[in-house]
């Protein structure tokens, strides 16, 4: 297998719902494995909910998003307002506008309007209903 790089995100019990939503928005190939689908693992430091997502992947044109449900370990990870986003580069501005509209229609909100950028391309941001910031970019009209 060739080397590859994927974004990995752990959401607070909503990874399955988020992955299904992103699959509806972006298409691609989705696989979700829940803890109840795998045999018990020796040495596991916690007892996971059988419905919690152990691992999920969404393979999109141009990349992969992977993730799982965050376990209750006392850490409170902030999804929205953290210093990251998922950058999705499209072939055209209209394609980006369509994806942004689907995320907004699915309960998200625009963080930065999709407009001409100082470097000459197009750029904008939207927060989906899970608090994940999606940045969209294209060099083409």
How many other CB atoms sit within 10 Å of the CB of residue 106? 14
Q: Decide if domain 86-138 falls under CATH 3.10.180.10.
A: yes
Q: What is the pLDDT of residue 66?
A: 96
- Bridge partner residues of 9 (DSSP): 67
CA–CA distances in Å: residue 12 to residues 71, 105, 106: 7, 22, 19
Query: Which tokens sit at 42?
Result: 């020796």
Tell me if 7-69 shares its fold with 86-138: no
Task: Tell me the per-residue pLDDT of 72-83, one tens digit each, with 9 for 90 and over.
Answer: 665 566 777 666
Least confident of 5-19, 72-86, 123-137: 72-86
Digit-coded pLDDT (tens) for 26-53: 999 999 999 999 888 788 777 888 999 9
Highest mean pLDDT out of 9-13, 47-51, 76-80, 112-116: 112-116
DSSP-assigned states of every residue in 52-89: SEEEEEEEETTEEEEEEEPP-SS-----TTSS--EEEE
Q: Tell me the domain boundaries of the chain.
A: 7-69, 86-138
Q: Which of 2-11, 64-73, 114-123 is modeled with the greatest confidence? A: 114-123
- 103 has pLDDT over 90: yes
pLDDT of 70 reads 87
CA-to-CA distance for 137 and 99, rounded, in angstroms?
11
Question: Average pLDDT, stretch 48-62?
Answer: 93
If one counts every other C-beta atom within 10 angstroms of the C-beta of residue 57, the result is 17
Structure confidence at residue 75 (pLDDT): 57
What architecture does CATH give domain 7-69?
2-Layer Sandwich (3.30)
């Amino acid at each position: 297998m060739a080397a590859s790089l994927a974004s990995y995100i752990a959401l607070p019990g909503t990874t399955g719902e988020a992955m299904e939503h992103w699959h509806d928005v972006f298409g691609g190939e989705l696989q979700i494995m829940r803890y109840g689908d795998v045999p018990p693992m020796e040495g596991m430091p916690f007892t996971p909910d059988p419905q919690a997502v152990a691992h999920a992947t969404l393979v999109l044109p141009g990349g992969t998003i992977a993730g799982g449900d965050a376990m209750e370990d006392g850490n409170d990870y902030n999804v929205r307002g953290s210093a990251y986003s998922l950058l999705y580069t499209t072939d055209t501005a209209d394609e980006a506008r369509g994806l942004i509209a689907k995320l907004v229609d699915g309960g998200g909100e625009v963080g930065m309007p999709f407009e001409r950028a100082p470097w000459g391309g197009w750029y904008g941001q939207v927060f989906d209903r899970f608090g994940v910031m999606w940045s969209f970019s294209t060099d083409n009209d």
